[in-house]
Structure 1
Amino acid sequence: MALAGITAVGEFHYVHHAPGGTPYADPNAMGEALIEAAAEAGIRITLLDTAYLSAGFGQPPTAHQLRFSDGDADAWATRCSVLKERDHARIGAAIHSVRAVPAEQLATVARWAEERRAPLHVHLSEQTAENDACREAHGCTPAQLLARHGVLGPRTTGVHNTHLTAGDIALIGGSGTGTCMCPTTERDLADGIGPAVALRDEGSPLSLGSDSHAVIDLLEEARAMELNERLRTRARGHWTAAALLRAATADGHAALGWDDTGRIEAGARADLVTIALDSVRTAGPPPGLGAETAVFAATAADVRHTVVAGRHVVRDGAHTLVPDVPGALARAVEALRA
């Protein structure tokens, strides 16, 4: 992420326990490991500790999912309350989805986040099957169910927000709930194209994420949001390059609880990223079109420097804290397979 110019991550974290569901000696061992990993990588993290309690509407967790479940939302809240914030780490909350948290427990998660003024994220209407199951179980859409239980609001971000009704869009926008579009994952999973323009027009702040780790490139996510709309509408120009960059920077940071980041001004954190304008992808355009070149031509491979809160984490395309990033990644993946 640092090599891709990303200075803060929102980690949607729900692998809480050992295989079989047995808590670790430190119940937050996995979350603490993620916080430490962010420190070692030189970036900030908002640990979005996720409530994941059931396999579906009215279904207990499977044997595999016992690693995710705390049993109920009260137990989830008790465990999360032990986590401590650090200079580089904030603690947020997440509802995995309306199918993974019983409706009567949604308010517990929302209240925990509200009391701490913490960001709250939720996978929302990612697939039509979830919408259909929610209607069958509760007689309403997932967005309507979240609204009933006090989940929507300015500190909440719906991740994906793909298959929404006009009423859903009005609920999300009218409540100030954010939308995190993850175009590369949405197309990878064949989930569809979310109504980003309609959400924006209704007042939902748009941010960008990767969701999965198959692609780590916010420039690709930014242009994909525009290009997806072009495919849907057969028209161009839904966002300016500046607006897409804002979704990838200031609005993304704000969705993770870092309101003083993502812009260059006095008092803001010194998060700075430089993108080469002389690579085979970016050479040619005049400097005045730098933003357009970055969004519509550059990739993460064109990032040359990443400065996080004034600290030079990537210099000339090389990570200053992890000498061999590909090797480190390969060893980490191999350890997971062992």
Structure 2
Amino acid sequence: MQVTTYWLEHAWLGTHVEPGVVLDVREGRIAAVRTGAEAEAPPPGAVILRGLTLPGLANAHSHAFHRALRGLVQVGSGTFWTWREFMYRVAARLTPESYHALARAVYAEMALAGVTAVGEFHYVHHAPDGTPYADPNVMGEALIAAAGDAGIRITLLDTVYLSAAIRDKHSGEPPNPHQLRFSDGTAEAWAERASLLKDGELVRIGAAIHSVRAVPAAQLSTVASWAASREAPLHVHLSEQTAENDACLAAYGCTPARLLADHGVLGRRTTGVHNTHLTDEDIALIGGSGTGTCMCPTTERDLADGIGPALPLQQAGSPLSLGSDSHAVIDLLEEARAMELNERLRSRTRGHWTAAALLRAATEDGHAALGWSDAGRLESGALADFTTVALDSVRTAGPVPRLGAETAVFTATPADIRHTVVAGRHVVRDGAHALVPDVPSALAESIAALRS
């Protein structure tokens, strides 16, 4: 069995930065990690990675087609609900071919930003009029193929989206014309279709409940049972908007978090995305059940959603992960520092999370939220997924290497990513994508096709 040896000038090993680390990689996994005197100089034939090598970053919440909205929605004012009308227009234009082209470029942009795994919250299932394609999963398969072409892992979070709004405690409003292609009609029909999707070497299949406004309460347990029977990750947009909370209280007499708890949705394989407008009881329910929280600070600030209670959630027992969501930017290091900086603005004090804690949210805990529990660490037996940040750019030069974690989190950008390796395969080398040539042109062409 062939072994590839990497020599890391500096490596973050979860608690500290270590100089001169050797990784032996075999069959897509880290076979050995060597530090100390034996790693001071690169072994003969080793691949040399200059800078600070981190475990690969996990983008735990993505809507790939939202990348086509970047710039377009920055004119004028509005709210999440006005932004959503622009989103519907782009969704209406997607075909399997155009979705593959766009997602391939978006996932390549992620690899260039150090992302090695993405959680794709996927709900554009059918033709624009709601008619299923001959292959009912052709849109999801286009996303899986796009991630493979870009060289990164994907957890396809196949999403249940059945109603436009909460009608009453028994049912939801029918999907509006924009939403017809999102809906399978019932949770049972969704489960039948989603069951046709299969895991692969770089693929995990999970489930998602779009929100309590899009899935009536009576159908929540079907989705939870489907995910539980497969031990698959289950994600849900949770209390992103106060209007969602108000509608839930009016129809069910409880908050969205309580509704999900009462129908068996919360738990250790579940991640609530945003978790923005929560009561103290909600926080206790989420944390006490071990349900994760995926914060998406760049989207939450872009859409004026609000700042979620990430710190109380973590203190209550909710593991934190990070996502770029609508892709206002694709920069997981920015998501990490924004979580800390948002908390500073709210509290007017500094230092709520260490750089190491923020990196764990962006790496190990993010991968766990996506069902890749053997990723996100530079240790023997882990998946060989890692990324290298330059320590000599105009942004990162200066601090001593032992402060590399602080430098990466609080100063680096995707422009500082030099290498990304997934399953032992060099996907980004010296700042260039090895599989998708000219990523900016690929993005421009695929987005122009959707906007024309």
Superposed CA offset, 1:140-160 (max 9, x none):
000000001000000000000
The equivalent of 2:347 in structure 1 is 233
The equivalent of 1:15 in structure 2 is 124
The equivalent of 1:39 in structure 2 is 148
Instruction: Say which structure, 1 or 2, has more relative contact order (CA 8 Å, 6+ apart).
Output: 2
The equivalent of 1:30 in structure 2 is 139
Report the alpha carbon displacement of residue 336 of structure 1 after superposing the two structures with TM. Answer: 2.1
Amino acid at match of 2:114: G
* 1:166 aligned onto 2:275: no
Of the three residues 255, 265, 276, the one matched with 1:141 is 255
Amino acid at match of 1:312: H
Amino acid at match of 1:78: E
d(CA) in 1 for partners of 2:157, 2:127: 19
Of the three residues 177, 185, 194, the one matched with 1:63 is 177
The equivalent of 2:429 in structure 1 is 315
Report the alpha carbon displacement of residue 133 of structure 1 after superposing the two structures with TM. Answer: 0.7
TM-score, structure 1 normalization: 0.99
Amino acid at match of 1:265: E
Q: Which one has a larger percent strand, Structure 1 or Structure 2?
A: 2
Superposed CA offset, 1:221-274 (max 9, x none):
000000000000001110000000000000000000000000000000111111
Amino acid at match of 1:331: E
* 1:218 aligned onto 2:340: no
Of the three residues 161, 168, 171, the one matched with 1:52 is 161
TM-score, structure 2 normalization: 0.74
Report the alpha carbon displacement of residue 335 of structure 1 after superposing the two structures with TM. Answer: 2.4
The equivalent of 1:96 in structure 2 is 210
The equivalent of 1:325 in structure 2 is 439
Report the alpha carbon displacement of residue 337 of structure 1 after superposing the two structures with TM. Answer: 2.9
Q: How does 1:75-90 map to 2 (within 5 A)?
A: 75-90=189-204
Amino acid at match of 1:335: A
d(CA) in 1 for partners of 2:369, 2:450: 30
* 1:289 aligned onto 2:403: yes
The total of aligned residue pairs comes to 338
* 1:175 aligned onto 2:289: yes
d(CA) in 1 for partners of 2:127, 2:135: 11
Give structure 2 stretches of 5+ with no counterpart: 1-109, 168-172
Report the alpha carbon displacement of residue 301 of structure 1 after superposing the two structures with TM. Answer: 1.1
Report the alpha carbon displacement of residue 50 of structure 1 after superposing the two structures with TM. Answer: 0.2
Superposed CA offset, 1:250-301 (max 9, x none):
0000000000000000000111111011111111000011000000011111
d(CA) in 1 for partners of 2:199, 2:443: 26
The equivalent of 1:263 in structure 2 is 377
d(CA) in 1 for partners of 2:444, 2:298: 22
Q: Secondary structure at the match of 2:406?
A: helix
Superposed CA offset, 1:29-63 (max 9, x none):
00000000000000000000000000000211001
Superposed CA offset, 1:49-99 (max 9, x none):
000000000211001100000001000000000011111111000000000
d(CA) in 2 for partners of 1:134, 1:220: 33
Q: Secondary structure at the match of 1:7?
A: strand
> How many percent identity over aligned positions?
81
Give structure 1 stretches of 5+ with no counterpart: none
**Higher Rg of the two aligned structures:** 2
d(CA) in 2 for partners of 1:95, 1:300: 31
Post-superposition, which runs of at least 4 consecutive aligned residues in structure 1 deviate over 4 A? Answer: none
d(CA) in 2 for partners of 1:223, 1:199: 17
d(CA) in 1 for partners of 2:408, 2:370: 23
Q: Secondary structure at the match of 2:129?
A: helix
